[in-house]
């Protein structure tokens, strides 16, 4: 029990109490034992573990010591029908991040299933979303073409004034400046929409691939 107490102290330093882990492990082991006996007509009558001195300890239920040392489930004739490995608290802590990651992945998979149900539906939603973005991009590109035509017209007017040796009107200069600002804004807007299109396409591809793997 001294070694067991030292391990519990290590768990406590890792912000997990030994008592909680033992209770959790005990609950898990008992649940597994129960499930096993439900499927196996041979029900366990005794539970035996060997302590650090090799002394056999037998009881009618699974205790923390059984979990710590590992135990054997015996039938009424003292025949082994199941073996449980010793519970390693330090290993359990090391594996905690991996279990958390697996749980997170499972939760994400369930969320995808609820949202899309199948890869086929996800493909349909992808097409609809990308088509909508494509329409916006096409519209903005048409707007930019018109701004470019206006710019050509304003530049020609400016050159005509200069050719005649006249100063271009202030209104024309203002139109040129505003036109240039609008062109810059329009280009940035189109680039943003195109970036959104690529990101959305990649995201849907990831979702569809994951759903296909789950099907």
Which of the listed residues 63, 94, 125 is the one where a domain comes to its end?
Answer: 94
Identify whether residues 126 and 207 lie together within a single domain.
yes
* pLDDT for position 4: 41
What is the C-alpha to C-alpha distance for residues 161 and 173, in angstroms, rounded to an integer? 12
**Is residue 88 located within the same domain as residue 38?**
yes
Residue 209 confidence (pLDDT): 93
Domain identity same for 112 and 198: yes
Query: Residue 119: pLDDT above 80?
Result: yes
Tell me how many domains the chain contains: 2
Q: What is the pLDDT of residues 10-69, one digit of tens each?
A: 444 444 444 444 444 444 454 444 444 444 446 888 999 999 899 999 999 999 888 888
| Average pLDDT score, the chain | 83
Domain residues for 123?
98-214
Which distant-in-sequence residues (6+ apart) come within 8 Å of 186 by Cβ? 140, 143, 144, 147
CATH at residue 187: 1.20.58
| Per-residue confidence (pLDDT) for residue 15, from 0 to 100 | 42
Beta-sheet strand order (sheet of 71-74): 56-59, 46-50, 71-74, 80-84
- Could you tell me which residue, 42 or 95, shows the higher pLDDT? 95
206 and 124 assigned to the same domain = yes
120 and 169, same domain (yes or no): yes
Residue 119 sits in the same domain as residue 203: yes
How many angstroms separate the CA atoms of 179 and 150, rounded?
A: 8
Return the percentage of the chain with pLDDT > 90, whole number: 60
- Per-residue pLDDT, averaged over 183-201, amounts to 97
The whole-number average pLDDT for the span 131-158 is 96
- Contact in structure between 134 and 197 (CB atoms under 8 Å): yes
Query: Is there a single domain that holds both residue 86 and residue 115?
Result: no
Last residue of a domain, which of 35, 64, 94? Answer: 94
Regarding whether 207 and 118 lie in a shared domain, the answer is yes
Q: What is the pTM of this model?
A: 0.54
- Helices 2-13 + 18-39 axis angle, to 10: 110
Domain final residue, candidates 94, 114, 131: 94
Q: Would you state the torsion angle of the CA atoms of residues 199, 203, 209, 212, taken in this order, to the nearest 10 degrees?
A: -140
Q: Do residues 47 and 151 share a domain?
A: no
Residue 22 confidence (pLDDT): 47
Classified as helix, coil or strand, 39 is helix
pLDDT of 58 reads 92
Question: What pLDDT does residue 17 have?
Answer: 44
- The string of DSSP codes covering 76-101 is TTS-EEEEEPPP-HHHHHHTHHHHHH
């Amino acid at each position: 029990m001294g070694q067991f107490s030292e391990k519990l102290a290590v768990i406590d330093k890792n912000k997990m109490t030994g008592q909680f882990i033992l209770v959790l492990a005990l609950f898990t082991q008992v649940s597994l034992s129960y499930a096993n006996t439900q499927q196996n007509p041979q029900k366990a009558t005794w539970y035996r573990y060997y302590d650090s001195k090799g002394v056999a300890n037998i009881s009618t239920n699974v205790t923390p010591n059984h979990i710590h040392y590992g135990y054997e489930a015996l039938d009424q004739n003292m025949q082994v029908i199941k073996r449980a490995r010793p519970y390693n608290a330090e290993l359990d802590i090391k594996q905690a991040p991996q279990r958390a990651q697996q749980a997170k992945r499972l939760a994400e998979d369930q969320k995808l299933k609820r949202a899309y149900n199948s890869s086929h539906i996800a493909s349909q939603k992808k097409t609809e979303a990308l088509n909508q973005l494509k329409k916006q991009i096409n519209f903005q590109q048409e707007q930019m073409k018109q701004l470019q035509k206006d710019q050509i017209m304003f530049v020609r007017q400016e050159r005509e004034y200069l050719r005649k040796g006249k100063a271009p009107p202030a209104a024309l200069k203002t139109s040129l400046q505003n036109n240039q600002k609008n062109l810059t804004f329009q280009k940035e807007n189109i680039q943003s929409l195109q970036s959104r299109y690529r990101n959305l396409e990649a995201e849907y591809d990831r979702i569809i691939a994951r759903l296909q793997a789950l099907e």
